[in-house]
Structure 1
Amino acid sequence: MRKDLQESEMRMWLELRAGRFCGIKFRRQKVIGKFIADFASNDPKLVVELDGDTHTGRDTYDAARSRHLEDQGYRVVRFMNSDVIGNMDGVLERLTEVVVDMGYSPLPTLSPEGERA
């Protein structure tokens, strides 16, 4: 496990940590079986993987890794580092679609005036 995060990992972690994304509690570098997932939640069972240049030519490995995580009951979503850095809104929108597709209800957007508005 690494202590130093890449820029894309730090940006994604800032969006996912402490229930900030749809109220879902994610863990960073979660051990699942023989693999370490970049980010994972237990409810819903979701793994978010970030792929960079180091994943070029590793399609077979990544597919086997995803299959193993799916066998553990997780849904695996992969994003390119460049997308996280250059299009975080699009990444979060896609991630929201996945969460809704899994049957998980994102937290409602609260009125800026508060609950009495």
Structure 2
Amino acid sequence: MYFLPYNRSLRDFSRELRNHSMLSEILLWQKLRAGSFRGYSFNRQKPLGNYIVDFYCKKLNLVIEVDGDSHFYDEVFLNDVMRQDALEKMGLYFLRFSDIEVKKQMNSVLAQIGFYIDDWEALHLK
């Protein structure tokens, strides 16, 4: 993987997002933080290029996004598609969950993240 650009001008906004997270982001962070999910380290509200992603694991090249209700509006949805496309061109992979999924189906969300990790490990840890 090559170097991903870090936009320093997003650092303060990233901190603000961490301090005003949605409940679903906080709940998922409790499962992912400090290498507690299968030993992989995740960052929260991480600036990558000109964007800030909800969760990022450098080792896995994985971005996890938690979408609230606002992401279902056409304009926001189209911005998400363009943003994801730009980040995927940097070699990143995405898992996207709804706010409700994280709150009501956490085991399923964690299983999907686990399936991604299983596939990654099968390819990279032979």
Q: What TM-score, normalized by structure 1, do the two folds share?
A: 0.84
| Map 1:36-75 → 2, pairs under 5 A | 36-57=52-73, 58-75=76-93
**1:104–1:10 CA distance, 2 compared to 1 (3 A):** farther
| Map 1:17-36 → 2, pairs under 5 A | 17-36=33-52
Residues 40-79 of structure 1, C-alpha deviations (whole Å, 9 max, x = no match): 0100110000001010122211111111111111101100
Q: How many residues align?
A: 105
| SS class of match (2:85) | helix
The answer for unaligned runs of 5 or more in structure 1 is 106-117
Q: Which has more radius of gyration?
A: 1
C-alpha separation between the residues in 1 aligned to 2:38 and 2:54?
18
Which residue does 1:95 correspond to in 2? 113
- Amino-acid identity (%): 34
**1:36–1:104 CA distance, 2 compared to 1 (3 A):** farther
Residue of structure 1 aligned with 2:28, choices 12, 17, 37: 12
Is the CA contact (8 Å cut-off) linking 1:52 and 1:80 kept in structure 2? yes
The answer for unaligned runs of 5 or more in structure 2 is 1-13
C-alpha separation between the residues in 1 aligned to 2:36 and 2:87?
24
**1:89–1:37 CA distance, 2 compared to 1 (3 A):** same
C-alpha separation between the residues in 1 aligned to 2:113 and 2:122?
12
Query: Aligned-residue CA RMSD in angstroms?
Result: 1.4
C-alpha separation between the residues in 2 aligned to 1:17 and 1:104?
23
Residues 61-99 of structure 1, C-alpha deviations (whole Å, 9 max, x = no match): 111111111111110110001000001000000111112
Shift of 1:104: 5.9
- Hey, which bits of structure 1, 4+ residues long, moved more than 4 A? none
**Between Structure 1 and Structure 2, which shows a larger proportion of helix residues?**
2
Shift of 1:100: 1.6
